[in-house]
Structure 1
Amino acid sequence: MAHAPRRTAGLGRVSGLCLAAAGLVVHLGTATLTLGWTHSVEKTVWEEDWRLTEQGLAIAEARVKGSGAGMDPGPDARLIDGFWRWTPSLPPQDTVVMRRSQAVADWYLCVEGLCRPLERLVPQAADPVTLRACDRP
């Protein structure tokens, strides 16, 4: 996953979070969500909670069910309900870029407790998929 530092301030022109891919823009109708995936080698679940702030997309928490092959929990992680949980020290981002591959399970996205594969929102062939603030119509 790639992150881009936030370069502009103020959310007066945005309205929640959107996914953008292959010329499509999907309005998610929320300012908070969870991104999740399963590591291709370790088969370990990784999740991140993101929220839209005045400064950009801020990561509130990361969770991983295990470690290995680049999946190590943060140094301040605590084991809670089977997940290592911590708050990464990452500045607010303009975008979060998700790459996709037919060789691994697709990303999933959770909004208000409802989780679904990314392919239900954006066709599987669309790569990359970018999470960003939506522009107001």
Structure 2
Amino acid sequence: MARPPRCRGRRLIGLCLGLAGAVWAQVPVPSFTLAWNHTIEKIRWEEDYRVTPDGLLLGEARVRGSGAGMEIPDGAVLRDGAWHYQRQMPPLQPLRVGRIPEAGDYQLCDAQGCKPFSEWLGPPTASQPAVELWSCELAGR
């Protein structure tokens, strides 16, 4: 059976979650926001990423305050109750984040809203204290 014309010759990429190259979950998003609350200050952080064949490209980031270990970056602009800033970085492939029960869970946000990582991976555990995110070709597409 032939593929639809719009798919011909194009790889469909999305977001993979896992560790050391082992895929635990795939999320078919072209872009997303990674959100979390600072473990001590309980202040929300958000980072916008675009999923590209070369990796995850960081766009704008936001933090809703400052505190212990949370200095506002140079050039940040206060808008709508959050400090907005951008960092020039090469695509991340993978992006590794710590994930333990005491810190709460990360959220993955897209046009449909925000969901905790536990939606795809189960709750954070001390025995698996990290997860990696990377762009990948979507299976079965």
Higher share in helix: 2
RCO greater where, 1 or 2, for CA within 8 Å and sep 6 or more? 1
TM-score where L is the length of structure 2: 0.79
Task: Spell out, residue by residue over 1:25-84, the C-alpha distance to the aligned partner (whole angstroms, 9 max, x if none).
Answer: 311111200001111111111010011234321100110010122222221111111010
* Cross-structure match for 1:3: none
Aligned length: 126
Quote the Cα distance in structure 2 between the aligned partners of 1:69 and 1:113: 32
Counterpart residue identity of residue 107, structure 1: Y
Aligned residues of 1:13 and 1:135 also touching (Cα < 8 A): yes
Quote the Cα distance in structure 1 between the aligned partners of 2:83 and 2:48: 14
Quote the Cα distance in structure 1 between the aligned partners of 2:23 and 2:55: 21
* Cross-structure match for 1:102: 101
Structure 2 unmatched runs, 5+ = 1-9
Identical aligned residues as a percent: 37
Quote the Cα distance in structure 1 between the aligned partners of 2:30 and 2:17: 12
TM-score where L is the length of structure 1: 0.81
* Cross-structure match for 1:128: 130
Given the superposition, is the C-alpha separation of residues 18 and 132 from structure 1 closer, same or farther in structure 2, using an over 3 Å criterion? same
Among 16, 19, 27, the residue aligned to 1:18 = 16
Q: Which runs of 4+ in 1 moved over 4 A?
A: 21-24
Q: Who wins on radius of gyration, i.e. which is larger?
A: 2
